[in-house]
Amino acid sequence: MLLATDSPGAVVGCAMRRGEMYVQKEQDRPGRYVDVSHLFHGHSVGIGARFQITGIEDRTSLSLKCQVEAIGGEANLQQSLFFDVDKPLYGDERSLEPVLSLSIQGTYEEQPYALPMAMFGAISLEVVRRLGPRAGPGGRAVSFIRTEALDAIELQEFWESIALTEEENHVIESLRILEPRIDRIAFLSPRPYRYGSPSGGVYVRLAGIDKRIPLGSLGDGIRHMLTLSLAVSRAPRGFVMVDEIDTGLHHSVMSDMWRVLIATAERLDVQVFATTHSLDCVRSLAWLAYSEPELCKSVRMHRVDSERSKSVVYSPDEISVAAEQHVELRG
């Protein structure tokens, strides 16, 4: 939210990931909605409810901020960036004047923009869809890779951003860490589950096998590796955040995963934030920092301690020494 405040997807996305959504079936207001009230203290939202997130970007010393406030829904709705007032938002013309709007102002916006809410205090996904994807600060891409696997449609959007470029070859090379026989990868039309969730659609060609193989047949780890590689490759000069970076990966390949990820991030000037609870993942990074110090010179590990006001920061050398002496680096 702090890095991509010019995108409503950054604000509503965290609520969507937590399942704070519902489907409205009433005739006057059908559609899917995101309940943003849980972003606020007390799990309720009313006029004047607000919160603010701030930070400092080290490289530029730029102060970053994200300020979110619930305001009266009638305020400047016709000047909102996110919908055409000639088209109903929630099913009929009456709902064009919602009770509340979510006012959002980020670092790069001179004036806050408004996301109108329905009468029952939620944001329609139609509002978000009409805006489309947007870049983060200064036009830089911001990606968040969650612990659950991206579906085929999301992966295809990532792939299309790097298809037929040199980055496509780098992504395939990263997959060969887990399956050396991979020659090519293709995205075909995903088939829907009977419950409506897209699946399938991603296939690979393996050396020595004539037929195409569904990516899912090769295990969850390779899908996670594809997601990581695509996220970094599509975000030059941008930001990638990965929750539980070791998801689905065997400990024997984690050093290779770190090597590819760090080298790609350095080459494309991408800042990667990754979390882990895995001791194997930490030790793999420590081994890489010891064996390839030049590659890892920009790597830092932050140990989050609830009793400290700031994280404890370890340099590559300190990561190696701490791992060798069995110092607990995890929070």
What is the tens place of the pLDDT at every residue in 53-75?
A: 998 877 677 788 888 888 875 54
CATH 3.40.50 residue window(s) in the chain: 142-275
pTM equals 0.77
pLDDT for 271 equals 93
**Helical ranges in the chain per DSSP H:** 8-17, 125-131, 152-160, 166-175, 220-233, 254-268, 279-291, 316-324
pLDDT of residue 77: 41
The pLDDT value recorded for residue 96 is 43
Q: What is the pLDDT of residue 127?
A: 74
Say if CB 314 and CB 280 are below 8 A apart: no
Residue 103's pLDDT is 85
Residue 11's pLDDT is: 77
> What pLDDT, in 10s, does the model give residues 164-189?
889 999 999 999 999 999 999 988 86
End-to-end, the C-alpha distance of the chain in Å comes to 23
Helix (H) or strand (E) holding 64: strand 62-72
> Block means of pLDDT (10 residues each) for the chain, length 331 residues?
74 79 67 85 85 82 84 50 38 49 79 74 76 58 79 80 89 93 84 46 90 88 91 90 91 94 95 93 94 95 88 93 84 68
What integer pLDDT is reported at residue 85 of this predicted model? 36
| Amino acid 195: pLDDT | 41
- Tell me whether strands 213-214 and 202-206 are parallel, antiparallel or unpaired: antiparallel
Asked if 313 and 300 count as a contact pair (C-beta separation under 8 A), the reply is yes
CATH, domain 142-275, list 3.10.450, 1.10.3470, 2.40.50, 3.40.50: 3.40.50
Q: What pLDDT was estimated at residue 160?
A: 87
> pLDDT at position 6, please?
63
pLDDT value at residue 206 = 95
> What is the per-residue pLDDT for 62?
78
Backbone angles phi, psi at 171, to 5 degrees: -65, -45
